[in-house]
Structures are given as C-alpha cells and as structure tokens.
Amino acid sequence: MEQKAKVEIYTWDHCPYCQRTLQLFNTKGIKYIQYKIDGDEAARDKMSTRASGRKTVPQVFINDKHIGGCDDTHALDSKGELDNLVFET
C-alpha cells in the first residue's frame, strides 16, 4: 500500500502516549512529520490552535485534519479507519 496522506504528530520526548502512537505508525509503515515541542511554548500554542484548544500531546493531523491524541488514533486503527485515511487502497 502506498501512503497518500500527509501525517503530522506533535510530541514530547518522554511522553509514553507519544511513544505508543509513534510505535503504531512505525509498525504500520506510516511516514510522518514529527514536531518535538518540549519546552517550546510557541510551538505548543501553534499545536493548540490547530487542535481546537487541546494542549496535551500527542496531537495527530492527517492531511491537516485534526485526528486527536493517542487514544483517538488507536481507536481509528481498531476500527480499520486509520489505513483508509493514510494509504491508497
């Protein structure tokens, strides 16, 4: 399957939820742009604006659409919807 979507994720280095989401992406072969925002309040504000006010990490975007955090991303995967958003079928 070929990836059709741009995937972006905002993370902190020592966040277990970020690591869990990155592991999911890596296992599925999803290529992503990672924004490490540890201690960068300007980047966190940008993420929060894009994520409708959410300030927790990770925050995932697919083709500039806010998907949500770790639980949201894993829920999409469990329903088989993550592959549909990311890959050509």
What is the residue extent of each domain of the chain?
A: 7-86
Per-residue confidence (pLDDT) for residue 1, from 0 to 100: 82
What's residue 27's pLDDT? 97
Question: With 80 as the cut, is the pLDDT of residue 53 above it?
Answer: yes
CA distances to 3, 13, 62 from 52, in Å: 26, 23, 15
Query: Residue 88 has what pLDDT?
Result: 82
Angle between helices 16-28 and 70-78 (to 10 degrees): 30
Total Cβ atoms within 10 A of residue 16: 9
1-46 pLDDT tens trace: 899 999 999 999 999 999 999 999 999 999 999 999 999 999 999 9
pLDDT class for 89, splitting at 50, 70, 90?
low
CATH 3.40.30.10 fits 7-86, yes or no: yes
